[in-house]
Amino acid sequence: MSKDTSIHVSIEQAKLLVKYLEADQQNKADELIAEIQSPIQTALFEEIGKLTRELHNSLNNFHVDSRLNDLATADIPDAKERLNFVIDRTEEAANKTMDVVESIFPVVSNIQQQINNVNPLWHKLMHNELDVAEFKVLCRDIDVLLTTTEKETSKIHGLMTDVLMAQDFQDLTGQIIRKVIDLVCEVEDSLINMLTAFGITSKQERSNYLPKLGENLVEGPIVNLGNRKDVVSDQHDVDDLLSSLGF
Amino acid sequence: MLSPEGVLEKNMKVLVVDDFSTMRRIIKNLLRDLGFTNISEADDGNTALPMLKAGDFDFVVTDWNMPVMQGIDLLKAIRADEKLSHIPVLMVTAEAKKDQIVMAAQAGVNGYIVKPFTAATLSAKLDKIFQRLG
């Protein structure tokens, strides 16, 4: 109970206690007992007082640490917004790119069609089977083909540049995601500090931790294939797994 | 679904289910390239199921991870409904754990494609599914 090992009842005190009791001097006996105990109690009270003050200070520190408060009330909601922004921008970029790609298909079709128009007569020419009238038609068709191709390839070039530019989202989303990673690190550190302060966690526990799986084992895209043994790496693996089971 | 020559009937009614519209768009485009013209979309298992029950669909392409009703549960619901159980189901998903693949196979999936995938893979899996149904 007491850290002070010098608090021992002495033989003199014990003899005095007996003398008081035999003389029926209860009050003096009680006083003597109180006197003996008093250093012990004082040390105990001091210890309790110290712990209480420490606890009080720790609790105060959490309260006073506005960083934690900021994290909870401002930074994390902000991070959610940022990540939603990333979803929006990437969706936008994907759709923009697909719009452009879809608009290129008819352009390419057009060129192909012009070529198909020209081919029969051209084939005849190559086999010396073309007559003059057909030759004139062929010339006109080739003229159209050349004009079309010139126009459409120029268009394709422009559209390809649009596709290139639509990839600009990656720079913005990358920056935003980095910021969110920083925030997550900060939250992680704060949590670990809190837990360590209460002696609740240790490095050992942290390294053994695996992310909790959702229902039906759902985990989303796997980002660290190299470390995982329970995951397939590609379609080939999927096919092998299924056929090995008879599916 | 297969004509007498065994060629895939491309006017079959297909339902594409994925919670991301960009992925639905990609799959729809790839299917169109392969000649499928009758394609509908749903953004979750729970919006897909009533469409299937109402509708004469011949084929389902579905993701796994969706907010309300996941693909695996949609698959089980399809197999449990005697009016729908015959419909072939192809999963196209980022979920790549071996346990999941086995789970899907045991639940009756006809094909399993992991993302990222190629147009060639999609085409090959479709051929395989419809050949098997013969």
CB-CB neighbors (< 8 A) of B29 in chain A: 98, 102
Q: Are A222 and B96 in contact (CB under 8 A)?
A: yes
Does residue A218 have a pLDDT over 70? yes
Does residue A134 have a pLDDT over 90? yes
Return d(Cα A19, Cα A148) in angstroms, integer: 127
- Comparing CB atoms, the residue among B95, B113, B117 nearest residue A219 is B95
Q: Mapping DSSP to helix (H, G, I), strand (E, B) and coil, where does residue A190 land?
A: helix
Contact A223/B at CB under 8 A: no
Residue of A161 and B42 predicted with greater confidence: B42
CB-CB neighbors (< 8 A) of A103 in chain B: none
Contact A216/B at CB under 8 A: yes
Tell me the nearest-neighbour CA distance from A101 into chain B, angstroms.
Answer: 11
- The pLDDT score that the predictor gives to residue A6 is 56
Order across the sheet with B111-114: list the strands: B39-42, B14-17, B59-62, B89-93, B111-114
Count helices and strands (H / E) in chain A.
8, 0
For A157, phi then psi, to 5°, come to -55, -45
- The pLDDT score that the predictor gives to residue A1 is 45
User: Mean pLDDT, to the nearest integer, of A218-230?
Assistant: 83
- The pLDDT score that the predictor gives to residue B6 is 43
CB-CB neighbors (< 8 A) of A219 in chain B: 95, 97
- The pLDDT score that the predictor gives to residue B97 is 93
| Among B46, B50, B33, B131, CA closest to B88 | B131
Return d(Cα A155, Cα B19) in angstroms, integer: 34
- The pLDDT score that the predictor gives to residue A165 is 87
Q: Kindly determine whether residue A217 and residue B101, on different chains, have CB atoms separated by under 8 Å.
A: no
User: Mean pLDDT, to the nearest integer, of A127-138?
Assistant: 93
The overall average pLDDT reported for chain A is: 85
- The pLDDT score that the predictor gives to residue A45 is 87
Per residue in A163-192, pLDDT (tens digit) is 988 888 888 899 899 999 999 998 888 888
Strands (E), chain B: 14-17, 39-42, 59-62, 89-93, 111-114
Residue of A37 and A144 predicted with greater confidence: A144
User: In this predicted structure, which of A120-129, A207-216, B33-42 has the lowest mean pLDDT?
Assistant: A207-216
- The pLDDT score that the predictor gives to residue A225 is 79
The pair of structure tokens assigned to A158 is: 């422009």
Q: Fill in the DSSP letter of residue A73.
A: I
Q: Are B64 and B17 in contact (CB under 8 A)?
A: no
CB-CB neighbors (< 8 A) of A91 in chain B: 20-22
Per residue in A6-54, pLDDT (tens digit) is 567 889 889 999 999 999 999 989 988 888 888 778 888 888 888 888 8
Per residue in A75-109, pLDDT (tens digit) is 888 899 999 999 999 999 999 999 999 999 999 99
- pLDDT grade, residue A120 (50/70/90)? very high
The pair of structure tokens assigned to A120 is: 């029969």
Q: Kindly determine whether residue B97 and residue A219, on different chains, have CB atoms separated by under 8 Å.
A: yes
Q: Kind and range of the H or E element at A207? A: helix A203-207
Residues 129-148 of A with CB under 8 A from B: none
Q: With pLDDT > 90 as the criterion, what percentage of chain A qualifies?
A: 40
- The pLDDT score that the predictor gives to residue B134 is 54
Does residue A204 have a pLDDT over 70? no
Per-residue pLDDT of chain B (134 residues; tens, 9 = 90+): 444 444 456 789 999 999 999 999 999 999 998 889 999 999 999 999 999 999 899 999 999 999 999 999 999 999 999 999 999 999 999 999 999 999 999 999 999 999 988 889 999 999 999 887 65
